[in-house]
Structure 1
Amino acid sequence: MPKSIAILLVLCCSLLSPLKVQAEPELIILVRHAEKAADNPADPALSALGQARAQALATALQYSGVSSIYTTQFKRTRETALPLAQARNITPQVLGAKRGAEHINEVVTAVRASSGVVLVVGHGNTVPAIATALGAPAMKEFCESSFSHMLVLRPTAQGVHMVQSRYGVVEASSTEANCQ
């Protein structure tokens, strides 16, 4: 009898102990990579303007508390994240860009498993889709010439609150009515 009581007591204590809560970021920042150079069509580096924008991103987020950074394998996303990663001593995690929903799901899974403030540097066709998959309202893909978008998502008990902002120099084309 004492052995069964001990087992029951251990079981009850384990049920009463706090449940392990899944990590969730307090803030998610999504940006498209900065302007790319024309050096290598398959995997271009950043242009001088793109390097300046990457530095502007680091400046804009210097006090944000970014603790995790996700990029794709492409130079343009890694180089966009580099100044902030160096300033915060963070090694960005590379999530290979794949076609369609598979990539979006991989990014969303990684972000949701993170805690703190998370930066995702993606692409014009993936950043809006990632935001939507995280609970933000649906939005159009970014225009090919638009690089200044910054989406800031805060998960709440009621859903996701999103603020759309800009950083660095805002491109003339991104102020057009048909350009996101």
Structure 2
Amino acid sequence: MKRLLLAAAVSLLAATSAMAQTVYLVRHAEKADASADPVLSEAGQARAGALMLAMADAHPGHIFTSPLQRTRLTAEPTAALHSVTIEPVGFDGGAAAHVASIAERVRALPDDAVVLVVGHSNTIPLIARALGYAEAADMPECEYDRMTMLHLMGDAAHGQVTRYGAPTTCP
């Protein structure tokens, strides 16, 4: 009887976790300069490649970015690997509207969706919070290697922060 209950519990957990959306949140990779819409630097291009490798087994079916080229360039290797079209989300209405729009789009996806969001140091923590991960820490301007993985189940969000690519150090 105990084995039957244990097997039932394991099956329920497996089914429940299979129904959770998985959302990966990263900031764009290192930029070439301080212009308004820069391309990626050499280090940024390497980080975009590292993101592709980090996402190789995740199989994202949706990729959202801002309309700025540094976010798209960061996402492109991953999008190419998984044959996914990048969906830029504009800043019409400001950063708060951008964050809300991304959260709304993610929440509208199927329960088993895998999503990559590439944003900015000032939007990624806000997007994580908008998706229910209240523990999301602010991101300093010098941090590029943080990857936040969220599992969304209804209104609940469970998160884990990892690092990818070359470590970044902030003064």
Instruction: State the TM bucket, normalised to the shorter chain.
Output: 0.7 to 0.9
Aligned equivalent of 2:125: 128
The 8 Å contact of residues 28 and 120 in structure 1, kept in 2 or not, is answered as: yes
Provide the TM-score with structure 2 as the length reference. Answer: 0.82
Q: Distance in 1 between matches of 2:158 and 2:137?
A: 18
- 91-100 or 63-72, larger mean C-alpha shift: 91-100
Cα RMSD, aligned residues only: 1.7
Residue 55 in 1 paired to residue 49 in 2? Answer: yes
The 8 Å contact of residues 126 and 141 in structure 1, kept in 2 or not, is answered as: no
Within the candidate set 160, 163, 167, 1:163 is matched to 160
Aligned equivalent of 2:61: 67
Provide the TM-score with structure 1 as the length reference. Answer: 0.78
Q: Distance in 1 between matches of 2:153 and 2:114?
A: 14
| Deviations 1:31-85 (CA, angstroms, capped at 9, x unpaired) | 00000001x6010000000000000000011010211000111010000000000
Q: For 2:72, give the aligned amino acid.
A: R
Residue 80 in 1 paired to residue 74 in 2? Answer: yes
Q: Distance in 1 between matches of 2:154 and 2:27?
A: 27
Gaps of 5+ in 2: 1-18
Within the candidate set 125, 143, 146, 1:146 is matched to 143
Gaps of 5+ in 1: 1-23
Aligned equivalent of 2:32: 37
Residue 108 in 1 paired to residue 85 in 2? Answer: no
Within the candidate set 73, 76, 86, 1:92 is matched to 86
Aligned length: 150
Q: Distance in 2 between matches of 1:25 and 1:108?
A: 15
Give every structure 1 segment of 4 or more consecutive aligned residues whose post-TM-superposition deviation is greater than 4 Å: none
The 8 Å contact of residues 149 and 159 in structure 2, kept in 1 or not, is answered as: yes
The 8 Å contact of residues 25 and 111 in structure 1, kept in 2 or not, is answered as: no
Larger Rg: 1
- Partner of 1:41: helix, strand, or coil? coil
Q: Give the fraction of aligned pairs with identical amino acids, expressed as a percent.
A: 39
